[in-house]
Amino acid sequence: MLEYHAAYYQAPEDDGWYVVSVLDFPGVNTQGRTLREARLMVKDALQTMVQSYLEQGQRLPKPDTKAKDSTAKRIEKVRIEVLVHRPVPT
């Protein structure tokens, strides 16, 4: 199981929406109307990006336990399980 760090931002000009970026996995960004929705969306976005990396044979970025952003409203851990299936030789 891998544990990445999601930063949640909320600005008045975003009409209450949460914008989320995974600090230690570049390119994983999403948003949600509520915090609950944003949490679901970031987990889905992260899982999709992990699957894409694996399908392309790319290495996953290592989670950074020190990932921080002082401008974020909150930072939460996002856990994902990575299962790598290899063909069984015949």
Determine the Cα–Cα distance for residues 8 and 42; give it in Å rounded to an integer: 10
User: CB 19: neighbour CB atoms within 10 A?
Assistant: 17
Choice between 82 and 51, residue whose per-residue pLDDT is larger: 51
Average pLDDT, the chain: 92
Enter the pTM of the model. Answer: 0.87
Distance CA 61, CA 31 (A): 21
Q: Which of 8, 1, 2, 13 is nearest to 68 (CA)?
A: 8
For residue 67, what are its two tokens? 């990932």
pLDDT on residue 88: 66
Tens digits of residue pLDDT in 18-51:
999 999 999 999 999 999 999 999 999 999 999 9
Question: In this structure, what DSSP letter does residue 67 have?
Answer: -
